[in-house]
Amino acid sequence: MNDDNSKGQMRQNLNPSVEGVFLSLILLASLALNLWNNNFPLHYHFDEAKKIHFIKESTQDFGHPLMMLQLVRMARSVFKGSDVLFLGRVISAILGTGIVLLSFLIARGILKRKYALFAAVAVAVSPIVVIHAHYLKEDIIATFFMMGALYFFLKFLRKDSRNHLILLGVATGLACSSQYKSFLLFFLYSLCPFLVPSLIKSLKKYFKKLALILIIAVVVFCLIDWPMLFDFKVLIKGVVFETKHAFHGHDIRFYPLDFLFSFHLFHSITPGITLPLTLLGLAYIVFALLRWKSLIWQERILISYVLLFYFSTELMILKPFPDFMRYMIPIVPIVLNFSCALVQKIEDSIRSGKRKYAVYLLAVALLPSLHDTILLDDNLNKDTRAILEAWIVQNKQKTIGEGYTTKNKGLYKTVISLGQIDIEEARRAGVTCMIASSFMYDRFLWGGSLKKQKPGVYKYCEQYKRIFKYPYIEIKPVFKSFAFSNPTIRIIRIAEP
């Protein structure tokens, strides 16, 4: 199970002190990107308002475990009087940078030092990580602790010690306290004897230690999520709701076979890390699977981790608009490690005089990711909804708007979706404008082209088509829509004022 010699060879060619300087600069740049423009309005993201209510009122619906809420409550008790939204977003930003550090530490197990640094850069500038590190949401926090659990799992396998066992149990408990899907980590741990052949010789001993890890994780989970023990009815209601949500889908149902299990590959990972890095990471996975027997055990575990969380998510019909890509965040850092691993293998396969071109290839592949992240970050506070609100104030017309247009009370009446509005009835009531958001109408226009949807999906799709026959003004993002930021807004005139 120990590959110290090969690992030592992989780490050569970079002075440790130089490595430390570069890593520090990468982490500082990551934190700067994560904090930049994180003061955008609360109402741009529906879920944040609910989270703030839970934090302030010490309540919860148990749709998710309580790690994020507890972290912000703890920070609030230390920084008294601080804005809850600000604290929550800063915690997300810091843990987003923590993901970069953990990605580097994991990468050092399979990559040379310089490529481990490149892997850290790739995560630090990936749009999917940076933009989600701006939200008060569980995804970045869960990914940080899942990466921590993965890191300590690799350390535990490399050196079976009591300290590593305890750290693995604690990290796993923290991950499970962040999102329920983190419990899949135990499936990965149980699968490990098939990935690390040397464990077969001590299988009974391994599973005894795994039982101890489970006990520690459960204790940690209970220490963080203790309110569950005193509000059991709400807990059951929350878990049942989330379970049904996962298996019955959101508004639109995306069946895995309809997309040949590639929905998240094309619609989440590719826009989330950009096409060049996606192609490199995917090529590495295919290459590794073809030569599975010759892989070192660390590579087998990391590939199994990616495949486990990717396909378990693909299997569910739940891919909720507007930000289904967040479900892929836990595997993105490892996919980016694989992108760098492929370039390292290319470098190793060519003559020494030409090896610098492999580094150039990776640097060029990183540019689209950096480009997208900077533009997306810059436009977080130049959202299309701000332009819309200025238009509404200036024009002062009787208006109905749907979700993801604005939550500012008093501007106009808001409904969940314009698909539920009768146009003629609205005209009789004196409504002259209707406002639609691509975060809402895109899901129904897409869903209307798919089979086996709920009847309401087709009804809403046809309603949007009728609405869009009226003249409209379109407010497009300066760059593009991403996650919960910058939807395309349509102001549809259904009658003259």
Give the least confident one: 130-144, 236-250, 331-345, 420-434. 236-250
What percent of the chain has pLDDT above 70?
96
140 contacts 133 by C-beta, under 8 angstroms: yes
Give Cβ neighbours of residue 17 (< 8 Å, ≥ 6 apart).
none
pLDDT confidence of residue 410: 66
What average pLDDT does range 88-107 have in this prediction? 97
pLDDT confidence of residue 10: 43
Label residue 408 by pLDDT band (50, 70, 90). low
pLDDT confidence of residue 234: 75
Burial of 416 from C-beta contacts in 10 A (0-12 / 13-18 / 19+) = exposed
pLDDT confidence of residue 4: 44
Q: What is the mean pLDDT of the chain?
A: 91
135 contacts 54 by C-beta, under 8 angstroms: no
Q: For the beta carbon of residue 382, count every other beta carbon within 10 angstroms.
A: 15
Phi, psi of 140 (to 5 degrees): -70, -40
Pairing of strands 433-437, 489-493: antiparallel
In whole angstroms, how large is the CA radius of gyration of the chain? 24
Give the span between the Cα atoms of 482 and 91, in whole angstroms.
Answer: 21
Label residue 13 by pLDDT band (50, 70, 90). low
pLDDT confidence of residue 249: 72
Label residue 14 by pLDDT band (50, 70, 90). low
Kindly report, residue by residue over 370-380, the tens digit of the pLDDT: 999 999 999 99
What average pLDDT does range 74-94 have in this prediction? 94
What average pLDDT does range 63-88 have in this prediction? 92
Give the span between the Cα atoms of 147 and 137, in whole angstroms.
Answer: 17
51 contacts 58 by C-beta, under 8 angstroms: no
For residue 490, is pLDDT > 90?
Answer: yes
Output the pTM of the full model: 0.93
Kindly report, residue by residue over 217-265, the tens digit of the pLDDT: 999 999 999 988 887 777 787 777 777 767 777 789 999 999 999 999 9
pLDDT confidence of residue 159: 86
